[in-house]
Chain A
Amino acid sequence: MTTAEMTPELDGSTPRRLRLPFSGWHFVLVPLTFVLIVPLIWMVVTSLQTQGEANRFPPVLLPHHPRPANYVDAWHTAPFGTFFVNSALVALVVVVSNLVVCSLAGYAFARVRFLGSKALFMVLMATLMVPFQVTMIPVFLIVKWFGDHVSPYLGINHLGALMLPNLATAFGIFFLRQFFQTVPVELEEAARVDGTSRLGVLFKIVLPLSMPAMSTLAALTILTSWNDFLWPLIVITNQDQMTVPLGLSYFQGAHQTNWPLLMAGNVMSLVPMLIVFVVAQRHFVQSVAGTGLKG
């Protein structure tokens, strides 16, 4: 109300002042966001240049004859299709497994009073403190053992080696437990009185109410799995089992100075996660902001 009353007065007192049809903050925000995404813009620009244009100094800011054929070349130079399929398979298995396994455990820790639950929970959460670099050498030996004694598809140089250690995470269990605790317990009690089993309650009542948390966990897991580099570097050397980041790093090693080709490959490698990120942005923002505020 007060602003509405004041505005005409303000307008009247400064009649000659130039008024912008939009907020002045755009003069700050446009250059700021531009600087932040310049690396990405430059990647796209280079991916459309000819090699001659890329090797010129000062750089050609706008390609005179954009060359989309770089993308076709990159696609044929390295098996990007295989990398995508591999990354997608690993991400799919890891996400589905995490959602199932972590929701079962998270629900038990949130609702079922069982002997040793507190101790077990503490022990599992303690693993969150351990850097991956501490466990990676033994995990390599364990995965090698699985490959030698259980199935070669779970061992070194197979996609199984990328899935196996990531099928469940302590973070996922913690995250879902926190969410399940906020689901009103009365709903569950009513169903329990009607004779529904624990599993029935979880699948019919709790999970449908927990879709926001499940999608957030799925989004975070896809991103982590897709962008993981160190573990694939350790266990995969066959090109036909490589994921996108690992394949991209080999591609970079093989074509060090062909920048347009490298950037075309780089753009292709980024597209799936950029789409996932933009579509699921809300979930990423909530999960990061949520953990940050609880600190």
Chain B
Amino acid sequence: MAGRWRRLGRSESATGWMLVSPGAILIGIFGLLPVLMALRLSFQKSDLLTPDTPWVGTKNYRQLADDPRFAEAIQHTIVYTALFVPGTMLVGLLVAAALNRSVRFISVYRTAAYITMAVSTISEGIIFLWLTDKDYGLVNATLNTVGISSQPFLASTSQALYVIVAMTIWGWTGFAVIVYLAALQGVPAELHEAAAIDGARPFTRFRTITVPLLSPASLFLVVWLSINALQLFDEVYLTTRGGPLHATTVIVYYLWDQAFVQFNAGYAAAMAYVLFVVSVLFTAVQFRLARKYVHYS
């Protein structure tokens, strides 16, 4: 009996390993191995091309601590994240609230709101480059009609980062609307009716019933949007190349520049590890805070 069980167990194990091996090998080579290689690389000097990679100890990390451009990149990333995440959530919530009703053509309105999800970051960048063009842009034309003079936008060190915030909020609106709309549809109508009978005004009902019930969706968005905000690259590459005067150089742009333009791969790997640790800590803190503020019904 025991022998038969063992045989069965062994053949089950063989089947199991056979089924998972293609996926496990691929993810092992392109997902796990690189994590270890990057760690080793961060203690080496490498130009990506020559096989000679001398060991430099913690030099890359010490250099990072004293690099004013890295400090600047961190600062830009923090400002960007602090505006982009709440901005996208607010726009997403307002649009989802407007779309959460059954009127005719609602599916057409919803598709129009979701569609930005299908627009690539490069298309988005080109569109906003044109919309915010300082000479011929539609945005400046609109500002002029309400009496505001034309702005330089992406050509200005003080405005460029905010233009990138605006264009990425637009790009992520579809995603946030989908998440919030699904959550709103899960809010039981009876709760609102009961509160209305008790005399609660619409805004009070929204604040005391809807917002707490949306908290799991909000947590998901905070985490997901933050992870993506820390990884901002495409739009910066397309619209400003980190300029003007490094004003939009965010961490990943600086990292890419160091690794694949300046060929300081070891230094870039150290930067990547700092980014990794920061994003893990960031997510952990968010989940910690969530215990206090998120209500699962």
Co-assembled chains A and B = yes
Interface residues of A (CB under 8 A from B): 22-23, 25-26, 28-29, 32-33, 36-40, 42-43, 46, 54-59, 100-102, 104-105, 107-109, 112-117, 120, 123-124, 127, 129-142, 164-170, 173, 198-199, 223, 226-227, 229-230, 233-234, 244-246, 248-249, 252, 259, 262-263, 266, 269-270, 273-274, 276-278, 281, 284-285, 288-289, 291-293, 295
CB <8 Å contact, B34 and A245: no
Nearest 5 Cβ contacts at the A-B interface: A114-B16, A289-B182, A138-B34, A105-B23, A138-B37
- Among residues of B, the one whose C-beta sits closest to the C-beta of A226 is B120
Contact sample, A vs B, 11 pairs, CB 8 Å cutoff:
A22-B104, A25-B98, A32-B95, A36-B173, A57-B136, A57-B140, A105-B19, A173-B27, A245-B120, A252-B126, A293-B186
* One of A116, A169, A245, A266 near B121 (C-beta < 8 A): A245
* One of A55, A109, A293 near B136 (C-beta < 8 A): A55
B200 contacts the other chain (Cβ, under 8 Å)?
no
Q: With A129-B280, A259-B130 in contact, is A248–B123 under 8 Å at CB? A: yes
For chain B, residues 3 to 22, give those with C-beta under 8 angstroms from any C-beta of chain A.
Answer: 9, 12-17, 19-20, 22
Chain B residues closer than 8 Å to A233, beta-carbon distance:
237
Chain B residues closer than 8 Å to A276, beta-carbon distance:
118
CB <8 Å contact, A170 and B48: no
Q: How far is the CA of A108 from the CA of B111 in the complex (A)?
A: 37
Q: How far is the CA of A266 from the CA of B22 in the complex (A)?
A: 37
- Among residues of A, the one whose C-beta sits closest to the C-beta of B141 is A58
Q: How far is the CA of A277 from the CA of B179 in the complex (A)?
A: 16
**CB of B251 to closest CB in A, whole Å:** 8
- Among residues of B, the one whose C-beta sits closest to the C-beta of A105 is B23
CB <8 Å contact, A59 and B16: no
Q: With A137-B48, A138-B38 in contact, is A293–B182 under 8 Å at CB? A: yes
Chain A residues closer than 8 Å to B133, beta-carbon distance:
259
CB <8 Å contact, B255 and A133: yes
Chain B residues closer than 8 Å to A23, beta-carbon distance:
101, 103-104
Interface residues of B (CB under 8 A from A): 9, 12-17, 19-20, 22-24, 26-27, 29-35, 37-38, 41, 48, 95, 98-99, 101, 103-106, 109, 111-124, 126-131, 133, 135-138, 140-141, 144-145, 170, 173, 175, 178-179, 181-183, 186, 216-217, 219-221, 227, 230-231, 233-234, 237-238, 252, 255-256, 259-260, 265, 268-269, 272-273, 275-276, 279-280, 283, 294
CB <8 Å contact, B48 and A56: no
Q: With A274-B118, A278-B111 in contact, is A105–B22 under 8 Å at CB? A: yes
CB <8 Å contact, B220 and A134: no
CB <8 Å contact, A39 and B38: no
* One of A109, A227, A259 near B120 (C-beta < 8 A): A227
Main secondary structure of the interface of A (DSSP, over half): helix
CB <8 Å contact, A109 and B111: no
CB <8 Å contact, A112 and B33: no
Q: With A57-B135, A137-B269, A295-B216 in contact, is A132–B23 under 8 Å at CB? A: no
- Among residues of B, the one whose C-beta sits closest to the C-beta of A273 is B118
Chain B residues closer than 8 Å to A113, beta-carbon distance:
9, 12, 16
* One of B27, B48, B101, B217 near A140 (C-beta < 8 A): B48
Q: How far is the CA of A218 from the CA of B221 in the complex (A)?
A: 23
Chain B residues closer than 8 Å to A293, beta-carbon distance:
182-183, 186, 216-217, 220
**CB of B288 to closest CB in A, whole Å:** 15
Q: How far is the CA of A270 from the CA of B120 in the complex (A)?
A: 8
CB <8 Å contact, B123 and A37: no
CB <8 Å contact, A108 and B19: yes
CB <8 Å contact, B175 and A288: yes
CB <8 Å contact, A142 and B98: no
Q: How far is the CA of A233 from the CA of B233 in the complex (A)?
A: 11
**CB of A9 to closest CB in B, whole Å:** 20
Q: A113-B12, A133-B255, A262-B126 are in contact. List 16 more A-B contacts (CB 8 A).
A: A33-B113, A36-B113, A55-B135, A108-B16, A113-B16, A114-B14, A136-B34, A137-B34, A137-B259, A142-B30, A173-B23, A229-B121, A245-B123, A266-B127, A269-B122, A284-B178
Chain B residues closer than 8 Å to A141, beta-carbon distance:
37, 48
Q: How far is the CA of A131 from the CA of B252 in the complex (A)?
A: 10
Q: How far is the CA of A182 from the CA of B145 in the complex (A)?
A: 57
CB <8 Å contact, B31 and A127: yes
